[in-house]
Amino acid sequence: MDFLADIQAITGKNNAVADEPMAKHTTFRVGGAAKYAAFVSTASEIESLIKLCNDNNVQYYIIGNGSNVLISDKGYDGLIIIIGRNMSEISVEGETIRAGAGALLSAIGSKALNAGLAGFEFACGIPGTLGGACFMNAGAYGGEMKDIVEAVSYIDENGIIKSFKRDELNFSYRRSVFTDKEYIVTDVLFKLENKSQSEIREKMDELMGKRKSKQPLEYPSAGSTFKRPEGYFAAALIEECGLKGASVGGAEVSEKHSGFIINKNNATCEDVKNLIAYVKKEVYKQKGVELHCEVKFIGT
Active site residues: 174, 224, 294
Q: How many CA atoms lie within 13 A of 188 on its CB side?
A: 26
Using CA atoms, how far residue 90 sits from 46, 107, 188, 222, in Å, is 19, 8, 10, 24
Structural contact between residues 89 and 103, judged by C-beta atoms closer than 8 angstroms: yes
Q: Given the DSSP bridges, would you call strands 69-71 and 296-298 parallel, antiparallel or unpaired? A: parallel
Strand, helix or coil for residue 194: strand
Number of helices (H), then strands (E), in the chain: 7, 19
Residues whose CB falls within 8 Å of the CB of residue 249, separated by 6 or more in sequence, listed in order: 267, 268, 270, 271, 274
Among candidate residues 193, 186, 133, 184, the one with its CA nearest the CA of residue 156 = 184
Report d(CA 17, CA 56) in Å as an integer: 18
- Using only the alpha carbons of the chain, give its radius of gyration: 19
